[in-house]
Amino acid sequence: MGAKGVIKKGEYFDSVTLMNVARRLGAVAGVTDSAVVMGTAANKSILKNSGLLLPEFAGAGDTDLLIAVQAGTETALADALRKADAYLKESRRGSSAKGGLRASSLDGALALLPGANLAVVSVAGRYAGGLAMDCLQKGLSVMLFSDNVPLETEVELKRFARDRGLIVMGPDCGTAIIHGVPLAFANAVRRGSVGVVAAAGTGLQEVTTLVSNEGVGISQGIGTGGRDVKTAVGGIAFLQGLDFLAADPQTKVIVLVSKPPDPDVLEKITARAAGIGKPMVAVFLGGDPAALGQGRISAFATLEAAATAAVFLAKGQGIEKSSEYLARRHERIWELAKLDRSRKKASQKYIRGLFSGGTFCAEAQVVLGPIVGAVHSNAPLQGHPKLEDPLRSVGHTVVDLGEDEFTVGRPHPMIDYSLRDKRILAEARDPETSVILLDVVIGYGSHPAPLDELGPVVREAIAVADGAGRHLSVVCSVTGTDADPQNRSLVAKGLEAAGAAVLPSNAAACRLAGEIVRGGEHHV
Amino acid sequence: MSSLFGAELKTVNIGLASFKETLDAVKAPAVQVAWKPPIDADPKAMAVLRSRKAEIAAANQKAAAILLSAQPALVGMGIAGEVIPGMKKNLLLHAGPPIGWDRMCGPMRGAVMGALLYEGLAKTHREAEALAASGQIEFAPCHEHQAVGPMAGVVSASMPVFIVKDEEHGNFAYCTQNEGLGKVLRYGAYSEDVIERLRWMEKTLYPTLKAAIEKLGRIDLKNIIAQALHMGDEVHNRNRAATSLFYRLIAPAVARTTPDGETAAKVLEFIHGNDHFFLNLSMPASKAALDAARGVPSSSMAVVMARNGTDFGVQLSGTDGEWFTGPAPVPDALFFPGFTKEDANPDIGDSAITETGGLGGFAIAASPAIVQFVGGTPEDALNYTLQMYEITAAENTVYQVPFLNFRGTPTGIDVIKVVEKGILPFIDTGVAHKQAGVGQVGAGVLSAPAEPFRKAAEGLAKRLA
């Protein structure tokens, strides 16, 4: 058993490319562990934790590429290092062959694409702010996917943009849909009359896909990043988005999606909404709809309720029709739950929710609270207890697998299912588990073949419980559309074939999970 | 926000390439920026440079204008000891930044020994080695004596040199005659046949060419280089067209001025048989133009990139003669049969003066044949040249790339842009064997190392602070 490392001075690759190379390297025969990372301090500490911070990396800096391999034999080591080189070369070749001419800088890009009006920035956070400012100065609006951008930088960027008639979506803006074009992690939705402003990325995906799946379309989906609605930022992008949708002739109905804004920001939003003549619905997830829905805005507790209201409003029908529609859905869910409930053992008391989307984890607490009471979470909403050890479920537990403790040094759980796969099986073995609750997010940027990976795991989980004489319920939603590369219907059918119940929305899935474990009487 | 929502979405994607693939999949117009992190320079120094941005930009504009207006011409030949300022019998000039015998690489040491044998200062290679190490021989960079030398670049007092004049600014540059390929002094060979060839070059080639040049009066090198770029040269690693153009000019004069026909034929055959003959003219032409652009206060434009096989050195217009150095990298090369990267010496030679002047790797899009030689495609060549526009102060007014619609080559490296954009100058070059005397083992391309450019930016900031 030995380990060997190579430094490639000044060779830069983006993190996704490196993860792909690392993944392929891990599959090389004889390799027990490997890492391919840029030599930043953060990456070095990750290497240290996995025992791969080799002495040869001592002098490496931020712009040096580090390749570390651990293998059983010298030959395997040499073979792996050679392959790492080949994979890296391939990635370069791929990008130059497919992409044609590439620019090396913003100026170069603008020369190749005159009239460019948006920059999508996804470089490491400490560089992202400066790059975003360059883009604004050249007259481009910015979608800032990067996170770890300082708050004061965000404020500076957003003020600068607003004063020049531009907008900064983000930082930490995972998704947007402009003129029907999906940006970053977005879905292929119908175009139509519902405009959305969202300070929650997965929330935007859920609302736009639910609207689209009901046959209504999206005019624009504007992301703002989660911090926009904090006092420090003052809702700059959120208000810009609202103003735009108010004036946009394509937009008939406006949906606002966010965690509860700070009170002064909410006040601004409410004041702005007072002058808008279009129907407006909002979901301020985790807040009290009665307190938040003021003036002309109708607020709802869940993404599902807000999206459905928007659908009915867009069709020219009243909000009460939407409530009736959802009540019928709840009725069906209750019927479904009864079937499962009767097959449970006494020990099976709890829901174990494993979420790749943080917004879904929050929505789960909103839906489950009234049905089952307190729910433990590593990202608890007010009134719910903090899960002490995110790796160990306690009672009813919902885990956000996108939180930092799970994602440092590995891809986001919407791309890399491996961590959740293991956790699903662990929960299945727990005699207290009654329901495993999942979100599956498809669309551009997400896992290209979710069924291939999740299907067998669901089957195995159910079989494991079955072997111990327990009926395990696996309940999930699939966020996406049939136009997405993965095709929502195909994924849903496949998961049902594997034994999962697939619901039309995350809120509906949470409700089914809640009704399965709830004792007692029918209650909607 | 009308610019975003009021028009078709056109996206510049900076970062994750997968987002660009999505845009391609839905047929939305988009361009990928191959973004690289900036070089890790002292933030205080970079803040100083940012605060003086306008002043530096104006200085660079001035320096670049001088560089572009230079008119290098071959005006004569002479003996190094008689024409190169400061040249003397016990002084050897070498390529790259300053270096002593103790740190010299194999090929540089071999060339030093060869030069001492050629000068008659030593009788055997052992004697030469002892003399070089004794401290009695002084070493200095060619660049500090208005000269340039390819590979080891060793110049001794008796060697004949070309005299190139920047006719616009009146300064001179000097370079030896190119020896050809194979076992040659510039690759560190010092065997008897190498010394014999040097003697023939001194006794026969030199007087013949000198007379022919005198007959012609002057030869416009800028003009030859401009034409050669239209004929597939980048005049660093490929000089076939430029050598042919030079041959056409010089041949009638050689015929007229050489007393015997056989000598004339031998000299012309020597030039004809050496595709790199013109390298020793493209280099001093670049050197003369860049030397004219020295001494513009506050300018961050490089006037020298040079390697001695151990260190890579940079000088700026705005930092007088100060050298900024870092370890020289080993080129990524295609090797001649029988050789591998293990045999290669780190980058060596003053020939990167061509890149510094907007030629060589910076003009590689004009020279598709060279790209193929180093294992790339014409599209790669285009991307290399396009990338260099990101770090240069100007576009050449005379040297052009036909395939880029005759756009001027990227000229005048701005080290601040290099540091800020993390884009390093691209050099295509010959590769020497790391042992003295073996010769060339391949040809290849490399990005300049970051360290000299980081230090240069910090050095300029120190002067401005």
Answer yes or no: is pLDDT of A414 > 90.
Answer: no
The minimal CB distance from B19 to the residues A120, A131, A165 is found for: A120
Question: Which secondary-structure segment (H or E) carries A283?
Answer: strand A280-284
By percentage, how much of chain A surpasses pLDDT 90? 68
Answer yes or no: is pLDDT of A162 > 70.
Answer: yes
CATH number at residue A165: 3.40.50.261
**How high is the mean pLDDT of chain A?**
91
Q: Residue B462 is which amino acid? A: K
d(CA A250, CA A239): 18
Position B221 confidence tier, pLDDT thresholds 50, 70, 90: very high
Give ipTM to 2 decimals.
0.83
Considering the domain architecture, whether residues A131 and A30 belong to the same structural domain is answered as no
Least confident of B26-30, B340-344, B361-365: B340-344
Mean pLDDT of B40-62: 95
* B37 interaction partners in chain A (CB closer than 8 Å): 12, 62-63, 123-124, 127
Assign 3-state DSSP to chain B and report helix, strand, coil percentages, each to 5: 45, 20, 30
Is residue A28 a contact partner of residue A79, using CB atoms and an 8 Å limit? yes
* B30 interaction partners in chain A (CB closer than 8 Å): 113
| Residue A108 belongs to some domain of the structure | no
Beta bridge partners of B220: B73
d(CA A451, CA A492): 9
Instruction: Report pLDDT digits (tens) over A386-401.
Output: 999 999 999 999 999 9
Query: In the prediction, which pLDDT does A523 show?
Result: 45
Q: Which residue has the higher pLDDT, A62 or A523?
A: A62
Mean pLDDT of A477-499: 97
User: Could you tell me where the beta strands, DSSP code E, fall in B241-354?
Assistant: 302-308, 311-316, 324-327, 332-335, 348-349
| Residue A487 belongs to some domain of the structure | yes
The minimal CB distance from A178 to the residues B4, B20, B35 is found for: B4
d(CA A445, CA A175): 10
User: For residues A214, A217, A222 and A223, what is the CA-based torsion angle, rounded to 10 degrees?
Assistant: 30
What is the number of CB-based contacts under 8 A between chain A and chain B? Answer: 181
* Chain A nearest CA to B392, separation (Å): 13
Position B438 confidence tier, pLDDT thresholds 50, 70, 90: confident
Least confident of A30-39, A513-522, B69-78, B106-115: A513-522
* B25 interaction partners in chain A (CB closer than 8 Å): 444, 485
pTM here is 0.74
Side-chain half-sphere CA neighbours of B102 within 13 A = 2
Considering the domain architecture, whether residues A294 and A349 belong to the same structural domain is answered as no
Q: Say whether B270 sits in a helix, a strand or coil.
A: helix
Mean pLDDT of A464-482: 97
CB atoms within 10 A of CB A163: 9
* A131 interaction partners in chain B (CB closer than 8 Å): 14, 35
Side-chain half-sphere CA neighbours of A170 within 13 A = 27
* Chain A nearest CA to B38, separation (Å): 8
* Chain B nearest CA to A16, separation (Å): 7
Answer yes or no: is pLDDT of A147 > 70.
Answer: yes
Is residue B67 a contact partner of residue B292, using CB atoms and an 8 Å limit? yes
Considering the domain architecture, whether residues A218 and A171 belong to the same structural domain is answered as yes
Is residue B238 a contact partner of residue B104, using CB atoms and an 8 Å limit? no
* B18 interaction partners in chain A (CB closer than 8 Å): 16, 445
Picking from A281, A299, A323, the residue at the C-terminal end of a domain is A323
Q: What is the DSSP string of A264-282?
A: HHHHHHHHHHHT--S-EEE
Is residue B33 a contact partner of residue A102, using CB atoms and an 8 Å limit? yes
By percentage, how much of chain B surpasses pLDDT 90? 82
Q: Cβ separation of A118 and B422 shorter than 8 Å?
A: no
d(CA B97, CA B85): 18
Mean pLDDT of A161-187: 95
Residue for token pair 């009915």: A312
| Residue A265 belongs to some domain of the structure | yes
- Expressed as residue numbers, the domain containing A127 is 116-323
Considering the domain architecture, whether residues A282 and A133 belong to the same structural domain is answered as yes
Considering the domain architecture, whether residues A235 and A335 belong to the same structural domain is answered as no
Considering the domain architecture, whether residues A152 and A25 belong to the same structural domain is answered as no
Picking from A39, A72, A99, the residue at the C-terminal end of a domain is A99
Residue for token pair 């080639």: B205
Instruction: Report pLDDT digits (tens) over B326-344.
Output: 999 998 777 888 888 889 9
Query: In the prediction, which pLDDT does A87 show?
Result: 85
Sheet hosting strand A2-8, strand order edge to edge: A2-8, A65-71, A31-38
Least confident of A410-419, A502-511, B127-136: A410-419
Q: Which residue has the higher pLDDT, A147 or B326?
A: B326
* A104 interaction partners in chain B (CB closer than 8 Å): 33-36, 386-387, 390, 421, 423
Considering the domain architecture, whether residues A235 and A318 belong to the same structural domain is answered as yes
Mean pLDDT of A93-116: 72
Best B19, B383, B387 member to test A by mutation, with max A CBs in 10 Å, is B19
Q: What is the DSSP string of A397-461?
A: EEEETTSHHHHTTS--TTT--HHHHHHHHHHHH-TTEEEEEEEEE-STTS-S-HHHHHHHHHHHH
Answer yes or no: is pLDDT of A521 > 70.
Answer: no
Considering the domain architecture, whether residues A53 and A201 belong to the same structural domain is answered as no
Answer yes or no: is pLDDT of A93 > 60.
Answer: no
* A103 interaction partners in chain B (CB closer than 8 Å): 12, 31-34, 386
Query: In the prediction, which pLDDT does B1 show?
Result: 66
Residue for token pair 């027990």: A32
Who contacts A435 (Cβ-Cβ below 8 Å, separation ≥6)? A340, A350, A351, A352, A472, A473, A474, A475, A513, A516, A517
Instruction: Report pLDDT digits (tens) over A262-278.
Output: 999 999 999 999 999 99
- Measured distance between the N- and C-terminal CA atoms of chain A, rounded to whole angstroms: 60
Considering the domain architecture, whether residues A415 and A510 belong to the same structural domain is answered as yes
Q: Is B382 on the interface with A (CB under 8 A)?
A: yes
Query: In the prediction, which pLDDT does A96 show?
Result: 42
User: Could you tell me where the beta strands, DSSP code E, fall in B185-282?
Assistant: 219-220
Is residue A147 a contact partner of residue A125, using CB atoms and an 8 Å limit? yes
Query: In the prediction, which pLDDT does A103 show?
Result: 82
Answer yes or no: is pLDDT of A524 > 60.
Answer: no
Instruction: Report pLDDT digits (tens) over B11-20.
Output: 999 988 889 9
CB atoms within 10 A of CB B116: 25
Considering the domain architecture, whether residues A287 and A422 belong to the same structural domain is answered as no
CA angle B327/B333/B336 to nearest 5° reads 125
Instruction: Report pLDDT digits (tens) over B167-180.
Output: 999 999 999 999 99
Query: In the prediction, which pLDDT does B444 show?
Result: 82
CATH number at residue A94: 3.30.70
* Chain B nearest CA to A115, separation (Å): 7
Q: Which residue has the higher pLDDT, B322 or A35?
A: B322
Query: In the prediction, which pLDDT does B319 show?
Result: 97
Is residue B33 a contact partner of residue B12, using CB atoms and an 8 Å limit? yes
Is residue B368 a contact partner of residue B232, using CB atoms and an 8 Å limit? yes
* A107 interaction partners in chain B (CB closer than 8 Å): 390
* Chain B nearest CA to A84, separation (Å): 17
* Chain B nearest CA to A103, separation (Å): 5
**How high is the mean pLDDT of chain B?**
94
| Residue A522 belongs to some domain of the structure | no
A15 to A294, B15, B21: CA distances (angstroms) = 44, 9, 16
Q: Which domains does chain B have, with CATH numbers?
A: 2-33 (no CATH), 43-68+293-464 (3.90.1700.10), 72-283 (3.90.1710.10)
Q: Is B427 on the interface with A (CB under 8 A)?
A: no
Question: Which secondary-structure segment (H or E) carries A193?
Answer: strand A191-198
User: For residues A151, A157, A160 and A162, what is the CA-based torsion angle, rounded to 10 degrees?
Assistant: -90
Position A8 confidence tier, pLDDT thresholds 50, 70, 90: confident
Mean pLDDT of B377-385: 85
Mean pLDDT of B438-454: 89
State how many domains chain A has.
3
Instruction: Report pLDDT digits (tens) over A191-225.
Output: 999 999 999 989 999 999 999 999 999 999 999 99
Least confident of A164-173, A283-292, A433-442: A283-292
Position B433 confidence tier, pLDDT thresholds 50, 70, 90: very high
